[in-house]
Structure 1
């Protein structure tokens, strides 16, 4: 196994343990640099090398319903979607040179 794969697996296991240990008394917010699901990639980028460098398939974590909100970066388009378990995936990047016209500098998220 390459160093990259073993590093990813260690990070995924640690993230899974943290999410699993959450007691649920407050809404859980997860923040990662890379996107946690392939659906976070723009359709035009699907299947490209850059898609593989931008998102992982962490469906087991995003679909578990344990996290209320998962905020991520690394992609250049805005995203706001709900996974089957109820976890909201959110990305609000300005983009290079503020090229993302959907960027909302006043965005505020309230969790119940």
Structure 2
């Protein structure tokens, strides 16, 4: 019962946070193409975190535990935090394009 419960809790959290990550990544990509800024440290860190995440997910499938679940959630939160930092940084960049009047 515990296994299923842990996996169930994780699936809920994962879908919630993954959606945020996807949205933020799209914003970052949009900004990068608008500003001409390319790959940077943050992107590399995100790739490392994503690789770690895949390893943890395999572990969660085979041997679910609270520790693994917490590590997965932390990984998601760290990625969201990195993306937020990157968005703040990109937000302060002067754009090449004409600003859109709101």
Same topology, TM > 0.5: no
TM-score, structure 2 normalization:
0.30
Whose relative contact order is higher, 1 or 2, with alpha carbons under 8 Å and at least 6 apart?
2
Q: Which has the larger radius of gyration?
A: 2
Higher helix share: 2
TM-score, structure 1 normalization:
0.28
Higher strand share: 1
